[in-house]
Structures are given as C-alpha cells and as structure tokens.
Amino acid sequence: MFEIREDFYWNGKPIKIISGAIHYFRVVPEYWEDRLRKLKAMGCNTVETYIPWNFHEPKEGQYDFDEMHDVTKFIETAQSLDLFVIVRPASYICAEWEFGGLPSWLLKDKDMKLRTYYEPFLDKIDRYFEVLFKELIPLQATHGGPIIMMQVENEYGSYNNDKDYLKVLIDMMKKHGVDVPLVTSDGTWLDMLENGTVPEKAHPTVNFGSDVADHFGKLEHFIGKDSPLMVMEFWIGWFTAWGNEKYNRTDYQEQAEELRNILNKGHVNFYMFHGGTNFGFTNGANYYDELTPDITSYDYDAPLSEWGDITEKYKAFREVIQEFTSEELPTLPDPVKKTDYGNVPLKSRTSLFENLDNISEKVTSPYTLSMEELDQDYGYVLYRQNSGNKRKVEDFRLLGTSDRAQVFLNEALELTQYDKEIGQKETFELTEDDMTMAILVENMGRVNYGPRLKQQSKGITDGVFLNGAYRSGWTHYPLPLDNIEDVDFTKPHKENTPSFSLFELEIDEKVDTFIDMTGWGKGAVFVNGFNLGRFWEVGPQYKLYVPAPLLKEGDNQIVVFETEGKVKEELAFTDKPPY
C-alpha cells in the first residue's frame, strides 16, 4: 500500500520515488517494454505518463483504447518490470501536445469555457472519465496494480484560481473509483501554488529545472516541513520549435548535480526520461510573441534519445542514482540497431488538386467554415470558389485564419501567409475570366499552454475579404489525410503545386531508420499509411525517425505530401540520426 505521510511509504516503509516520464502515445507499442527496461536500468523505480483526452476520445462519444492507445497494456508492461506508475489523467495535460490534450471538438460550442467551473465542460469531462477510469481503476495499487498516485489537472496555478473547478475534478475522480493518493503540480511562484493547489485533498508537488534549494524551499514553506517534497517535472531538457536555429540542449553535468540535491531532499520525476515522437499532426505549439509550433521530434534532450539510444546524460544520472540505492543497477542494454536503406527512386507523383474528390467529401456553404465546424481536428482544409471576372484585386485579406494559408489562382500559387502575416492586405491581378481561387489552410498545431487556449479554432473562421466585401459561395475540402490509401497516383501531376509522391521500399529485414527530407519543402510523410509526422525546410529538423515496427518485410509504401512544390526524385533513408 502506498501512503503519503511526512514522507512517501510503501507497505509501511519509507520509499524514495525516482521516476521518469515516458508518453506511451509518443512511442510505438512494440517499443514500450524496451523503453521501460532502459528506464529501470538508469535506476528509476517508477514511470510517469500523461493521458491525453483527445487521443482517447478523438470524436465526441467515440473512444479508442486499442493498439497505440492501449494505456492499460502500457501500465501492465510497467508492472511486469516491477515499476510503480504515476498517472496524470487530467482533462488538460500541456505536454507540448496538440491543444494540451483537449479535444478540438470542444470548440464547436462557441460559448465553451475551458478549464473552469462551466457545467457543459464538466459534463464532457465526466462522461470521458467514466470510460477512462474503467481502464485505470483495476490498475491502482489499492487493487494490486502499479499505480501509486494520480494527478489532478496540470499546472493549473499558471492558468486560473478556480478552486471549485479543482474540487469538482477531485470529486469526479473519486466518484469513478480513484482511491490512490492525489497530487497537483505547479510552478513555485506563490500565486501558482496558491492558485493551483488543494492541499487538503491533493498533495502539492512542483515543477522546475534548476535551483533545487530555492524551489524546494518555497514548496516546503507552502506545505510545511512534515510533508514529502517532490519535483513532478524535473526539466532536464526542453522542446524545440520549427524555425529554431538548432535543437535545444542543456548541460547534463550541472543537471546531475541538481539531481543529487533533489534526492538528498526529496523525490523526483524526470521530464522527460524518453520523449519520443509527435507522430502525425499531434504536435502542440506555443504563442508568446509569435506562433512557435513544435517539431515532429519530441527528443527533448532526454537521457534516452527519440530512437532509444543511451546518452551521456543517461550515464551521468545513473551514476548519481546509484549513490542512493544499495542495489546494483541493471547492466546497460545494447544500442538500438539502425540501418541505411539507401536512396529509393520516385515511383509516381500526383497533384492534390486532382485528388480532392477521392480523398475528401466536399462541403458547400455561403460562408467559410472553421475546421471544427467541419468536424475535423487536424491537417488541412482547402477552400475553393469562383473569383469572378478579370480585374485588379486591390484589397485581399484573410480574416480569422489559422495557421498558414496558401492562395492559388487557377492552381498557380499567388501568395503564402503565416501567423502574423495573415490578415495583411495583399494585391494581385485576376488575369482571366472565371478564375478559381483555392486557399489551402494548415493547422500547424493548437497552442498547448497559456491564455490563448481559448482562441484555437483553425481554418478560416471569419472570412475572405476581397475589394471591400466578403466573398460568398465556398466549397470546402477537409483534408485530415487519414485516408492516404485513397490517393490516386494515376492522376496527373502539375509542377509547383501541392502533391503526393509515392516511393516503394523493398526490404528483407525491419530495422530502425531515418528519412532525410533535406531538399523537400513542407508537408508530412506516411509509412504504410501511418502518418510519421511533419517536415519543413525551415528546420532545425530535417530527418524523421522511422521505428522498425512501422515497416514490413517486403514492399513498403512511402507517401510524401508536399505543399510548396519543392520535391525530389528520390527519397533518402539513412542510419545516421539527426544529431
């Protein structure tokens, strides 16, 4: 039995929690055991994971707990390795994950109030929790499982101070069967701790990346000297955004000393132990002065790399952890095998415009519809209409549009706007009668942190303004690209337009590899129908990690969707990681 008294106890004896974060939703299931074994070999006795709501209820009332979504299997795998588990099942998780884990379909309600005591929001959480906790309740330590703690919400003190909301979440969790100790996690600013904690119902923990004495001192002052100190997120790395000059990196030697200070005073959860990958369109974004969407890699400069390699940081942390345990740590596992499959020639290429009717069901409306109004979560929407007779357009504006828009006239690219550029006035010529305007809008990832959570509708929400008036009569083509097998490669390709490129990789053995997208423009790569993630020529990521389980012996179909007209005649596979 796990208890929180003046310290953490397991079966009546004090225990030091040394935990590491692994997000099962960022790792292919075939590698869960490998990553967990490496966690244990570093000296951890616990694994922590978030649970993203939008991953398990992608459409309202439709739940998914199979294959990569099988959180039960992940937790049971941890238990088989004698690891404890900390679960953070909040409706909101942040995690640099799309919309912080909130389902985008919440935004269909124009009056929706997120992360506060708003009954329509709470009702939807309650229905989700009813399903989710049926998976988790049997896995609690009180039922013979490995789950020792669950977290309420996430860093709520940096968003709001609605204690009624926190209390109803706690009551909701208990109603659905949670009986292990509850915790909260927040920064150590006094306002954050006061806003985000309910000490009488959930044990407060904190998040930081340095200055242990200062942060633990603030926590101790807040909760008193007779409570255990824990850093729920010891930030030993950081995430990287598209357009950054390079991958974010930290000084592991300084962090190893900070780890020693933490373990001398309390308990730790590494954020992240193993970051994994933002597969598909699941990356989140931040918005301070500008939009900064996260890259496909969630390597996070973690002790275990995105592709499962042990790093110098891992070894340094392992040495420190060994100081705090009397048992000899497991031997280090062998490196992950990687291979170079070489360059694969292009088999076929076709234009997006030629494929709209076979990969999308068009929706007509007098006005532009947002992505959410189209019942779409991720990807792209193509808006199309007839722009009328030839004339000069002296005032063209996209209003309420997120996040990146390309405007085509008769399928020729006229302009591209991104983030702050959107809404600026543009001028151009309509050179022919009955010209067709097509606007391809990409959701680059909904913001996952901060006050902008409330403004995360994607697509064109307000309209298209042309020569002093809104344009009406739109045909919409939702493009979540979840049906890549419907692309018809017998249809023609037009240069300098968005396209699909087909490559066939013939292999005898499935081995981890990397696809080098240097020289390509912007888009996403699909391996045997699985959306591997985005690429973008702005960097700093130019290679995409391909876990071996996504491949199959024999023929593999690789499809590259590219939007800028910057394509190559071959696809390069390499055994060399991005760095």
Enzyme catalytic residues: 155, 233
Give the list of residues 6+ apart from residue 397 with CB closer than 8 angstroms, or none: 423, 424, 425, 426, 464, 465, 466
**Distance (Å, rounded) from C-alpha 224 to C-alpha 221?**
5
Residues 6+ apart with CB under 8 A from 203: 4, 181, 182, 183, 184, 223, 227, 228
SS3 label, residue 460: strand
| CA 414 – CA 416 distance, rounded (Å) | 7
CA angle (466, 471, 474) in 5-degree steps: 135
Cross-strand bridge partners of residue 97: 283
Residue recorded with tokens 């927040």: 186
How many angstroms separate the Cα of 533 from the Cα of each of 267, 282, 393?
35, 8, 37
213 backbone dihedrals φ, ψ, rounded to 5°? -60, -40
23 within 8 A of 276, measured Cβ to Cβ: yes
Phi, psi angles (nearest 5°) of residue 64 = -135, 115
Residue 429: CB atoms within 10 Å = 12
Kind and range of the H or E element at 189? none
Q: How far apart are CA 193 and CA 532, in angstroms?
A: 38
Judged by phi (left if over 0) then psi (alpha if -120 to 50, else beta), residue 558 lies in: beta
Collapsed DSSP state (helix, strand, coil) of residue 114: coil
Phi first, then psi, for residue 395 (nearest 5°) are -150, 100
